[in-house]
Chain A
Amino acid sequence: MKMVIAIIKPFKLEDVRDALVAIGAHGMTASEVKGYGRQKGHTEIYRGAEYVVNFLPKIRIEVAVPSDRVGATVEAIIASAKTGQIGDGKIFVTAIDQAVRIRTGETDVDAL
């Protein structure tokens, strides 16, 4: 089992969700985060006081998939989240040691 973690631009959330559902993902977790990479921040001005905002709003999606589905999942995310502009985000894949469905007690792949 692998956890596919994607940091994407916030307005792409629905597109990514649709793409993942289309390839058979049963669920995901999304959280609002702030971050930056090569995309620089912006400057805000309030009555003469300038503030440089380095951290930009992003959405972090986590979706747990069986190991053989990782490739399809990553491709689906790339296709739906890409705009071609700086700041599109990144995808990380990590290993999951254990998974449990709380309601039924199913474990590992049955829990995904």
Chain B
Amino acid sequence: MTRDSGRMACGIAATLGLIFAAAPALAQEAISQIDGGDTAWMIAATALVLMMTIPGLALFYCGMVRKKNVLATMAQSVACTALCSLLWFAVGYSLSFAGDAPWLGTLERLFLRGIGMETTSAFAPTIPELLYVTYQMAFAIFTVALIAGAVADRMRFSAFLWFAAGWLLFVYVPIAHWVWGGGFLASVGVLDFAGGTVVQLNAGIAGLVAACVLGKRHGYGTDNFAPHDLSLAVIGTGLLWVGWLGFTGGSALGANARAVFAITATHLAASTGALTWMFLEWSTRGKPSVLGLITGAIAGLAAVTPASGFVLPWHGVVIGLIAGAICFWACTWLKLRIGYDDSLDVFGVHGVGGATGTLLTGVFAVAVLSASADAPEGSPGLLEGNARQVLIQLYAVVAVLIWSGVLTYILLKAIGFLLPLRVSEQHEIEGLDLTQHGETLQ
């Protein structure tokens, strides 16, 4: 029996391998320029970014919800990792990065067709294309998982799975193509190093829309919603912070000086963001909370994301300072003023932080750092005399805001026709762990 099932497993594996590797490669670079150093770093960076979702984001979020929803919150991160990974490999990558149409990619890389051992992508010529696929997959997963934070404590698991699949394909893929896959935003010169628009703002807006569509949690504003275990959230923050070095450092797509500049700006922004939030809270509330400290760090990270590889280290400090302050305001004043229930502040931190950082990229961009083979002079920012870059960045922010906001709304409404987006009120009171998954923390 085991020999047969072993043979069957080999047969299936061989078939899958053929499916994924079949068809001769289309017109590619004649000579493979795959570099060992770049590849090694990018493999590590891929692992770091994947770690940001599992378990980084899973822990960060689950520590902040109530005990009865901890497992359900983690389930969202894990399940969307699995689901979005498969969809990405099947069709997501192709539609994001294949071809150079302004609005959407082509299907030439459907099921990774044409990717062999020596194949490279024009976007990352020194690493195997399959590695580029996987690296970008980790970004896609993270973005989808971020949104879950806005609807924590009340979204039906089945509806969330449908949403994750649909959102990846209809919202993330087009925007990734526009900014990174040679689409129209890239053509006008938008600078987004590691995903200020594609990841942070995108997820932030979607989170805001989702929070509004699903409505407030039962008992919001009256019941005690204190975090179950902030130590989990702190651990999650650590994993996110460290993993972010792969998020931005790896966006240099090589083991080079730009990666190092990216990592440095990233880390300094996180540090400054944390301290800024801490001091603001200390002076306005009397005590520096741990939640504030870690949120400030994430705000700094979110904001420096689009700028990281294009700016100097001290710019990272300033970006962290501004982001820490603006996100603090957004989470403590703006949210209460407008009255939406974004459970874990996805919009306040990632949305606002990402938008802020995207605009600041236009301010601080250093031409030398943004120079590439296509643009040997690089793209200077406002400080180097090019005010136009800020307008280009604003254009990108508006484009992403509109597409993400509108499509997220439509997607949620469409799913809502098929099944309820929220759990029933009784189930919400009992807790998602028990009612959605049949499990509880003991």
Contact = CB atoms under 8 A, between A and B. Distances in A.
Interface of A: 44-49, 51, 53
A48 B289 contact: no
B332 A47 contact: yes
Contact of A46 (B227, B333, B335): B227
Contacts of A49: 225
Nearest to A50: B285
Given A46-B289, A47-B291, A47-B292, A53 B332 contact: no
A59 B332 CA distance: 36
22 contacts: A44-B226, A45-B285, A45-B287, A45-B289, A46-B64, A46-B225, A46-B226, A46-B227, A46-B289, A46-B291, A47-B289, A47-B292, A47-B295, A48-B331, A48-B333, A48-B335, A48-B336, A49-B225, A51-B224, A51-B226, A53-B224, A53-B226
Chain A interface mostly: strand
A45 B331 CA distance: 13
B367 to A, nearest CB: 38
B345 interface: yes
A63 B295 CA distance: 47
The 4 closest A-B pairs by CB, nearest first: A48-B332, A51-B224, A47-B331, A51-B226
A49 B227 CA distance: 11
Given A46-B226, A47-B289, 14 more contacts: A44-B226, A45-B287, A45-B289, A46-B64, A46-B289, A47-B292, A47-B345, A48-B332, A48-B333, A48-B336, A51-B224, A51-B225, A53-B224, A53-B226
Contacts of B331: 47-48
Contacts of B285: 45
A109 to B, nearest CB: 38
A52 to B, nearest CB: 8
Interface string B304-341: 00000000000000000000000000011101100000
A53 B226 CA distance: 10
Nearest to B286: A45
